[in-house]
Amino acid sequence: MWNIFFSLALSRTFAAKAQRHKGNAKNGFSLRGCFASLRLCGEVILVLVLSMVPLGHALAAQNNTPYPAKPLRIIVPFAPGGGTDITARLVGQRLSERFSQPVIIDNRPGAGTMLGTELTQKSAPDGYTLMLASASHAINPTLYRKVNYDPIRDFAPVSLAIAFSFALVVHPSQPVRSVKELIAHAKANPKRIYYASSGTGATNHLAAELFKTMAGLDLLHIPYKGGGPAMNDVIGGQVPMMFGTLLETMPQVRSGKLRGLAVSSAKRVAAAPELLTIAEDGLPGYDVTGWYAFLAPAGVEHAVMAKLNQEVTSALAFPALKEKLLTLGAEPWPTARQEAQTFIASEVQRWGKLIKGAGITAN
């Protein structure tokens, strides 16, 4: 505050001097008055410089404040209890320990994950707001007619978080025990075999669409409002097949309520060692991997992003956290920031092509 009072006091002095110079000007040109005016300008500049000193100190102090200096927030664009929520809480707990700051998990479900995504986009790019995104981040811009953000330009990836496979499962009453047999059975019964999904545009829906396209099948889609209801109807025999997460499907497979045919990823999965990959078992080249990634709003300064990448990747490599994720059928996937950026951009292109080709829309 001292600079404000100092400026006010000097401004009064300048006003008085200016009044005297004005009076002198009425009597004509005065060399003395000219020098006095120059001196007045110098004094004004001096006051401006002095008044900026405290501001400069404040900015310097702000720039030297260690990051993070306050709690962080991770926005999860899904309801509590799902895979993204569990992953965010596991990583958030580790970050809290490392940063000595609280990490708040903010669940913002709605509009096919777009509500939480838009909230992240509009947050201050200061490194204190992150989002744990899923494949929906790459799918929605093509699936919906109106999306108020660009999935690449408006976000800065910190790191990929996890990768997970889906299991292709059928009801035990179905006369198939392999991917090859399923493809042959579906070709012999066009438009008579249905598959369930957790919703239009969900990754397991697109996994089935890719399977259908690559195998040249005519399957019919039944979308549900969530994986639970879809799974229940497959277990009950109302729908013959679906792609589901390993966490959802493997307990049902091992109890005999469902029959597992194969996993969707390019490589076999430790959480389901008894299952071949779809590519191995009848559809070469097939590969669908679900993923999560930590994103920040675009514009976070480089040093902060580097710190976030360092701590997030370290958390994902932490043995206890890694073991917990593996028990859930997920594999930690820590990456460099540019690797995450390149991967997400490739997913936008890949799913966009499939969605357009199949004429899928959520509107």
User: What confidence score (pLDDT) does residue 269 get?
Assistant: 93
Distance (Å, whole) CA 321 – CA 60: 38
pLDDT at 245 over 60: yes
Distance, in Å, from the CA atom of 78 to the CA atom of 86, rounded to the nearest integer, reads 11
Span 250-273, average pLDDT: 95
Say if 91 falls within a structural domain.
yes
- What integer is the mean pLDDT of 29-47? 46
> Domain count of the chain?
3
pLDDT at site 21: 47
Tokens of 183: 């493809």
- Reported as a single tens digit per residue, the pLDDT across 103-154 is 999 999 989 899 999 999 999 999 999 999 999 999 999 999 999 999 999 9
What pLDDT does 226 receive? 84
Q: Are residue 184 and residue 103 in the same domain, yes or no?
A: no
Let me know whether 319 and 346 are in one domain. Answer: yes
Q: Are residues 219 and 171 in the same domain?
A: yes
CA pair distance 119, 129, nearest whole angstrom: 10
Least confident range from 40-49, 83-92, 121-130, 250-259: namely 40-49
Q: Mean pLDDT, the chain, as a whole number? A: 87
The answer to the question of residue 65 being in a domain is no
Could you read off the pLDDT of 306-342 as tens digits, one per residue? 999 999 999 999 999 999 999 888 999 999 999 999 9
Tell me if 261 is assigned to some domain.
yes
The answer to whether residue 66 is domain-embedded is no
The confidence score (pLDDT) of residue 363 equals 65
Note whether residue 284 is domain-resident. Answer: no
Structural domain range at position 10:
2-59
Residue 39: pLDDT band (50, 70, 90) is: low
Same domain, 196 and 268: yes
Residue 324 lies in a domain: yes
State whether 39 and 78 are in the same domain. no
Q: What is the per-residue burial (b if ≥16 Cβ within 10 Å, else e) of 40-79? A: eeeeeeebeeeeeeeeeeeeeeeeeeebbeeebbbbbbbe
Is residue 52, in this structure, part of any structural domain at all?
yes
